[in-house]
Structure 1
């Protein structure tokens, strides 16, 4: 068995996220994803067909935030975790979202960890 960590870090999206009246307009949110991916054995070929193609995670997040607003960062994190875990090779995922422009002196975020139930 071969275990890798695949990381998508600092994906900036404009989306509707929040519960406050000033959050009706899209705002900048930074998303980071860290996935533990397990393969049946060592990788032999230098071919994308052997590994998780992280394009599906990025494309899935972009589609998700374009389709609907989210009230809570926690809900957004759960939705992204479900997307990642839809690939059977993903055993563990850590998601972090940061609303970077809410306060002039700090970002506000949420982080979750989800593991596949075996």
Structure 2
């Protein structure tokens, strides 16, 4: 579910940037067979940035949050090594997204599409605001 300003009035002044269905191969899982190789993981990230901080005046990339920030942050987390839980992965991505000075809130979800043959995927989602 994508949070809306109707559900969260504090998002009314924000622009939503998103990275949708970013597919990565990574070392994740608690079971021994999962520790022996990479698994496919689908990552979705929404960033909520106040319009006053993310409305370009001169059509310059330096005036907004760059999408590369989202992709590179995820790549950095994955390259650090094995992660046991999707919850840990989501929390780490959310923490790093919220560390960006312009980001007010974030929604992060991860899905493992190859776990069970009888469902599309299993996953985790988190939605958080920056703490003051």
Decide: shared fold, TM above 0.5.
Answer: yes
Is the Cα contact below 8 Å between 1:95 and 1:111 reproduced in 2? yes
Q: Equivalents in 2 of 1:74, 1:117: separation in Å?
A: 19
Counterpart of 2:131 in 1: which secondary structure?
coil
Instruction: Give the structure with the higher percent strand.
Output: 1
Gaps of 5+ in 2: 1-12
Matching of residue 78 in structure 1 with residue 91 in structure 2: yes
How many residue pairs match? The answer is 118
Alignment correspondent of 2:40: 28
Higher relative contact order (CA 8 A, sep 6+): 1
List structure 1 runs of 4+ shifted beyond 6 angstroms: none
Using the size of structure 1 for normalisation, the TM-score is 0.92
Q: Equivalents in 1 of 2:34, 2:62: separation in Å?
A: 41
**CA-CA distance at 1:40 after TM superposition:** 2.7
- RMSD across aligned positions (CA): 1.6
Structure-to-structure mapping, 1:54-69, within 5 angstroms: 54-69=67-82
Using the size of structure 2 for normalisation, the TM-score is 0.83
Among 101, 107, 115, the alignment partner of 1:94 is: 107
Alignment correspondent of 2:4: none
